[in-house]
Amino acid sequence: MKNRKIWMGVVLTLLCTLLMGVSVFAANTTMKNKKWVTGECGVFVDTDKDGVVDDFRSNGKAYYKLKIPKQGYIMVDMKTSKLPKQEEYSKSLEDDWAFATSVTLLNSSKKEVDESVFSTGERSICFSSAVKKGTYYLRVEGEQKYKLRYTFKAVGKLSKVGKRAKNAPGLKKGTTAKNLLYPDPQMNVYKISLTKKSKVSITVQSKIKSLSGLRVQLAVKKGNKYRFVDKKGKILSNDDLIWWPVEGKGKISATLPKGIYYIKLSTVGGSGYYTLKWK
């Protein structure tokens, strides 16, 4: 009798796992740095057994755990491909089916850290995020097969930085600022002081992969408002927003009047590591 109870317990456990699908397995899987994991978001089926694939059954949301040992940033790579019978299902529809898969970074409470990043069709996507020591999750959902990995890079001592102009620290000429731009808030600000009309050259090295890349803005306070500097070095008289998009390495050069200027760095849908130097 005792053996029978044990066997029944094992069977019930297996049945529960099968019913709950991939989400259960993925939630208990801890990813390793630089190692790929694979998964399938669901299955295409012939529900009425007439020889035509007519339905998609989702495996639900898959969660993969990341253990981050110290502050730094991660690069997340995802490659998507077709599920079996996907083309058969597409042919059964009058309209084209937009197959897509999303991956989202979550904190230890499974709350979104940043926006979801989507892959449509068979393609690869990559995004970065600044992270602190702790536990994170990658949530995957959609209608495709996928391969997923993260690459972690630790970052040591960071430079002083402000989250808005009023608390921006001064950046000395010739000094290199090294910093992480975190998802919330997605803005870092420095200020530079010009004692006379001068040519300003700002070089940026960005490790950030996002929807917008790294956005670099140069602004000066005029009265109660901040006016941005355009790509020709002209201070705008209106409220237009001007920025330099930086992917990898970028440089901003302008001849500016005497004054205090603010260097603002931001992103859309991503975060990560960068260095900045004023020459």
Which DSSP string corresponds to 198-252?
EEEEEEEEE---SSS-EEEEEEEEETTEEEEB-TTSPBPSS-----EEESSEEEE
In this predicted model, what pLDDT tens digit does every residue of 215-266 receive, in sequence order?
999 999 988 889 999 888 888 888 788 898 998 999 988 899 999 999 999 9
80, 101 in Cβ contact below 8 A?
Answer: yes
- pTM for this entry: 0.84
- Please report, rounded to a whole number, the percentage of residues in the chain having pLDDT higher than 70: 89
Mean pLDDT: which of 18-22, 96-100, 115-119, 269-273 is highest? 269-273
Of residues 10 and 75, the one with the higher pLDDT is 75
Of residues 1 and 232, the one with the higher pLDDT is 232
148, 78 in Cβ contact below 8 A?
Answer: yes
Three-state DSSP state, 145: strand
Residue type at 47 in one-letter notation = T
Q: Annotate 152-211 with DSSP letters as a single string.
A: EEE-------BSSGGGPPB--TTPEEEEEE-SSS-EEEEEEEESSSEEEEEEEEE---SS
133, 67 in Cβ contact below 8 A?
Answer: no
- Please report, rounded to a whole number, the percentage of residues in the chain having pLDDT higher than 90: 62
Q: Give the H or E element holding residue 17.
A: helix 2-20
| pLDDT exceeds cutoff 90 at 177 | yes
| pLDDT exceeds cutoff 80 at 157 | yes
